[in-house]
Amino acid sequence: MTSLLESYEQQYSTLTADITHLIGKISTSHGVEKQGHVRQVEKLFEEAAELLEQMDLEVKEQPGKDRQKYQTRVKSYKTELSKLQTDVRRAKLGLDSREDILGDDSHDAEDQRTRLLENSERLERVGRKLDHGYRTAIETEQLGSTILEDLHTQRQTIQRGRSRLEDMNAALGKSSRVLTGMMKRVIQNRILLVVIGLIMVVTICVAIYLIVRRT
């Protein structure tokens, strides 16, 4: 498991190096090119944040001494990532070049920089909340669509089952009518046999009576 953490650390080191390189490009680029670099660095920040989450999970599985050591490392990585995010905000606003022009002793420039950073952070927080809300809405819509599809499938299954039951009921009804007709015919045949038997008995009795009387 330690080797896995070391692999995570190597990946994190590579990501932060790429982020630092892109921050330099953001500071020196403009327009569409700058926007492209900003999108790239935002993706790298997302990957780095996910990587730190994986590291947190792995650290929890470590024994006591190693766990404390890696927890300290992960905390420092998070602090470093936060500083890099601040550097990105500075680069997007072009604050480094302003410092060179105005100098460190300009109080107004410092106040302006602070306000710009605060406004930028607020905008980014609002943007993240909007993105999160949008993703939640999309996921909810997808979930609702899936549920509706499942309900539609279940409804079709129930309708097919009901149709089969109706067909079975119709077949049973037809069979019942056939059996009833057969029973009626059997009863009629038995009554006819009884009547024929009685007629034969009466005929035989009459014939015997006549024969006896003649003698």
Q: Which of 62, 125, 118, 61 is nearest to 93 (CA)?
A: 118
Find how far residue 167's CA is from the centre of its chain: 38
Give the separation between CA 32 and CA 177, rounded to whole angstroms.
83
- Tell me the two tokens of residue 72: 């300290």
Domain boundaries, the chain: 1-93
In tens, the pLDDT along 112-133 reads 556 566 656 666 666 667 777 7
Contacts of 108 (CB under 8 A, 6+ apart): none
Query: Model confidence over 37-86: pLDDT tens digits?
Result: 889 999 999 999 999 999 888 888 888 777 888 888 889 999 999 999 99
Superfamily classification of domain 1-93: t-snare proteins (1.20.58.400)
